Amino acid sequence: MKKIGIIDIGSNSIRLMLIEVSGNYFRIIDEVKETVRLGMGMTEDNRLNPVRIERAIETLSYFKSLCEGLGECELFPVATEAVRRASNQAEFLKLVESKLQIKIKVLSGVEEAYYDYFGVINSMDYSNVLIIDIGGSSTELIWVEGKTVKEAVSLPFGAITITDQYGIREKMNSTIEKELNTYLLSQFGRISWLGGATNLPLIGVGGTIRNIARISRKNTNYPIDRSHNYIMDSADVLNLYDYIKFNNSEQRKKIKGLSKDRSDMFLGAFSVVSALIEFCSSPQLIVSGSGIREGLLHEILHGDKVINDVLEFSINNIIETLSIDKQHAHHVWKLAESLYTQLQPIHKMNGNSYKILKTASLLHDCGKAINFYSYHKHSFYMMASLPINGLTHKELIMAAYTMILSVKENFVLDKSPYVKLLTKEDKLIVQRLGTILRLAESLDKKRNGNVTDVVCELRSDNLFLRLLSEGTTESERKTVEDRGSNFYKLFGKTLELE
């Protein structure tokens, strides 16, 4: 199994992501962040500060030792805005190479924007969006249409530069806030194409966006501790900004969800988000946990090909890395899909329920990777926590509920901590999906693909099932009969076998 390390040398922090790669699939095995602030304290002629350079070299040395501890590990180090605009860039790169034998690739603004886009588009199921990545010294904006980049720009300001330019490390007052907002709106106004990217969801990349989401989740007692694909209405984002924008540094440190090492620069970065939402009339802010590093990873794995079905790839990636019985998982899904399609006249569920059932079917056994006993509990936790891309948080939880209801049909939804995310209709959907999955799993209990398909025929108050098989089906028929009472309760039809 191949191992790679991706190092992202930003203006504020330096991050390492360690990955195991097997074919086209991968597993992240470690991630480390050091706050170096390479872009801070640069001289008037844009020279990197010697103290910051020394700290960066110490961090890179540490990261290299982590990679070496894995044995053979290929490094992919990249640097962004601080190194990009440094007048002593060549000197810094040469120093790192001579001391550590690490050759850094300095990304152009266009390349940085591209890797942000590539990380987002390969981990989220959106086609038309505006992406923002606020770094320490730059801000990237990418307009995506039909899953391809329509326009992109890298702006020479970020969390560190805005904070220092307006002196708001300690506190911001109303006068400075107005000046800053006017400046940002004027900067956005100079981007000729940005006016065409209005009323689109805004997908945010980077630590500032994750901190905004974390504060929001803490304030609302949100039951899922997950940033990726967390959705906030823009009105809530702007209200949050108004609530904290005049807080001093000590008050900011007490905000639940805000990282202490980011509190001094948070207002500057948050102001950029607020101004962009205002300028583009963005209806939502959606958090992406994927950015430059993930974009680089997908390029290493797939070249410049965009993943067509993010959910499919994500599920197969989990099946591969957890060594789940692939043949059984896909056969259960084949049977569940057949039942779902044929029962459409009586369940009348929408397209999202298809994705939910697919996820639950393919990953219903994932908890067995931990322990067979009470595997459904492990599966539930794993499905709520695994990096399953292409689903909203609610859809993710509904998939986990579908799985557990397929194992425990008497499971009480209202006693679960995530139930606050579901409506009454959602609860009925997962109960019905759970029953469909329970039937499908029962038909491949032997894990030999004996039942190849099932034919459904509705006749008045009865549903007749005909099992297509390669052999005898006595045991499968018995398990289907055992599911009859619950099926009648949820679908109002009596199960009959032909």
SS3 31: strand
SS3 149: strand
Residue 409: its pLDDT value, please?
A: 85
User: What percent of the chain has a predicted confidence (pLDDT) above 90?
Assistant: 84
Dihedral angle over CA of 50, 55, 60, 62, nearest 10: 150
SS3 381: helix
Phi and psi torsions of 267, nearest 5°: -60, -45
- 152: nearest Cα among 127, 133, 180, 126: 133
pLDDT of 415 over the 90 cut: no
Residue 92: its pLDDT value, please?
A: 97
DSSP state of 366: G
Strand ranges across the sheet with 129-134: 148-155, 139-145, 129-134, 202-205, 284-288, 231-233
pLDDT band (50, 70, 90) for residue 25: very high
Distance (Å, rounded) from C-alpha 138 to C-alpha 153? 10
SS3 351: helix
pLDDT, tens digit, for every residue of 149-172?
Answer: 999 999 999 999 999 999 999 999
Residues 6+ apart with CB under 8 A from 225: 217
pLDDT of 41 over the 90 cut: no
pLDDT, tens digit, for every residue of 176-205?
Answer: 999 999 999 999 999 999 999 999 999 999
pLDDT of 387 over the 90 cut: no
Residue 97: its pLDDT value, please?
A: 97
pLDDT of 480 over the 90 cut: no
CA distances from 201 to 143, 331, 482 (A): 11, 37, 47
Phi and psi torsions of 197, nearest 5°: -100, 35
DSSP state of 299: H
pLDDT band (50, 70, 90) for residue 43: confident
- 211: nearest Cα among 139, 145, 156, 287: 287
Distance (Å, rounded) from C-alpha 204 to C-alpha 114? 14
Give the pLDDT mean for 445-469: 92
SS3 457: strand
Residue 374: its pLDDT value, please?
A: 86
Q: Which residue has the higher pLDDT, 124 or 1?
A: 124
pLDDT, tens digit, for every residue of 295-319?
Answer: 999 999 999 999 999 999 999 999 9
Structure tokens at 281: 């009339």
Identify each DSSP E strand in 85-222 by its residue range.
105-106, 129-134, 139-145, 148-155, 202-205
Residue 105: its pLDDT value, please?
A: 98
Phi and psi torsions of 48, nearest 5°: -65, 140
CA distances from 305 to 23, 119, 241, 262, 292 (A): 15, 12, 38, 35, 16
Give the pLDDT mean for 271-290: 97
Domains and CATH numbers, the chain: 2-106 (3.30.420.40), 110-294 (3.30.420.150), 310-497 (1.10.3210.10)
Alpha helices by DSSP H, 281-374: 292-302, 310-321, 326-342, 344-347, 351-363
pLDDT band (50, 70, 90) for residue 372: confident
Q: For the chain, how far is it from start to end, CA to CA, in angstroms?
A: 49
pLDDT band (50, 70, 90) for residue 262: confident
Query: Residue 115, Cβ neighbours under 10 Å: how many?
Result: 25
In the block, tokens 């939402």 appear at 277
pLDDT, tens digit, for every residue of 100-135?
Answer: 999 999 999 999 999 999 999 999 999 999 999 999
Residue 376: its pLDDT value, please?
A: 87
- 279: nearest Cα among 190, 213, 340: 190
pLDDT, tens digit, for every residue of 216-252?
Answer: 999 999 999 899 999 999 999 999 999 999 999 899 9
Residues 6+ apart with CB under 8 A from 40: 11, 49, 52, 136, 160, 164
- How does the average pLDDT of the chain come out, rounded? 94
Distance (Å, rounded) from C-alpha 27 to C-alpha 18? 9
- Yes or no: say if 125 and 197 are a contact pair by the CB < 8 Å rule: no
DSSP state of 90: H
Identify each DSSP E strand in 114-272 by its residue range.
129-134, 139-145, 148-155, 202-205, 231-233
SS3 454: strand
Element (H, E) at 32: strand 25-35
Residue 113: its pLDDT value, please?
A: 95
Give the pLDDT mean for 420-424: 93
Alpha helices by DSSP H, 9-101: 50-68, 81-85, 89-100
DSSP string, 220-237: HT-S----TT-EEEHHHH
pLDDT of 350 over the 90 cut: no
Strand partners, 285: 202, 232
Give the pLDDT mean for 14-19: 98
pLDDT of 145 over the 90 cut: yes
pLDDT of 261 over the 90 cut: no
